[in-house]
Amino acid sequence: MAERPAMTFGLLFLALMSVTPSRAEVALPTVAVSDFTVGRSWTWDYTQADGKPWSTERYTVIAVSGTTVFLEISSDYGGGQNLKPNTRLQVDIQNCLAAYANPAQKKPWSYKMFFFSSGHWNEFEAPNTLAFEEKFNCNPREYLGASDPYLTVYSEIDGVPVFQQKLWRRLSASWFAQDGSQKGVAVQKEFTSDPTMTYVFKLRNFAK
């Protein structure tokens, strides 16, 4: 009789494990090609650490071809009322998503970048993929182990559930929305551009 409770508990434990997904199976929201329709835009306001306005940046979808999207970046340092295009990105969304197919190591990928100068769009070598990945999440995996390359952190900003994919030993990472119409899009990020200046960007609106 004394063994029956132990057996019952064991069977109950196995039953619960069979219907409860493990944390490793959690799929975090990422962007998809369908999110990038021509005319869609996202605007982020940048402030200094003390809250003083710094600049405004808008990403607008200007074309889509298959899995490749063309984004135009416009900036303004006067309150966002006079946004001017200065950069364009040509991004294959599938390449960004495929970079995280291996949970243990990110696969290098790249995109084309163009800078507006002297009335023309001139291609130049993108130094990294930060201009896209800090604004749009391509990594669906949840990382909780000390041996993982990233650490997934959850929080809430202005009532919006958000998550971070932080590289170990690195302080700055974007907070991405977990659900809603802007899921997978960066809501906020605090970063340092040099040893003395800290900035924060925050998603202002979402034009459908």
Instruction: Give the pLDDT confidence of 31-90 residue by residue, as tens digits.
Output: 999 999 999 999 999 998 888 888 999 999 999 999 999 999 999 997 767 899 999 999
Instruction: Give the pLDDT confidence of 107-155 residue by residue, as tens digits.
Output: 999 999 999 988 899 999 999 999 999 999 999 999 988 888 889 999 9
| Domain definitions of the chain by residue range | 26-207
Q: pLDDT category, 193, cuts 50, 70, 90?
A: confident
Residue 24 in this model has a pLDDT that exceeds 90: no
In this prediction the pTM is 0.83
Instruction: Give the pLDDT confidence of 3-18 residue by residue, as tens digits.
Output: 444 434 343 333 333 3
Range scoring the smallest mean pLDDT among 23-27, 106-110, 127-131, 181-185: 23-27
Q: pLDDT category, 170, cuts 50, 70, 90?
A: low
Q: pLDDT category, 103, cuts 50, 70, 90?
A: confident
pLDDT value of position 132: 98
Q: Distance (Å, rounded) from C-alpha 25 to C-alpha 139? A: 13
Residue 207 to residues 39, 61, 160, 177, 181, Cα–Cα distance (Å): 9, 11, 17, 15, 10
Paired tokens of 199: 């900035």
Residue 85 to residues 58, 99, 108, 174, 187, Cα–Cα distance (Å): 9, 28, 28, 23, 22
Residue 22 in this model has a pLDDT that exceeds 70: no
pLDDT value of position 25: 58
Q: From the options 2.50.20, 1.10.10, 3.40.50, 3.30.460, give the CATH code of 26-207.
A: 2.50.20
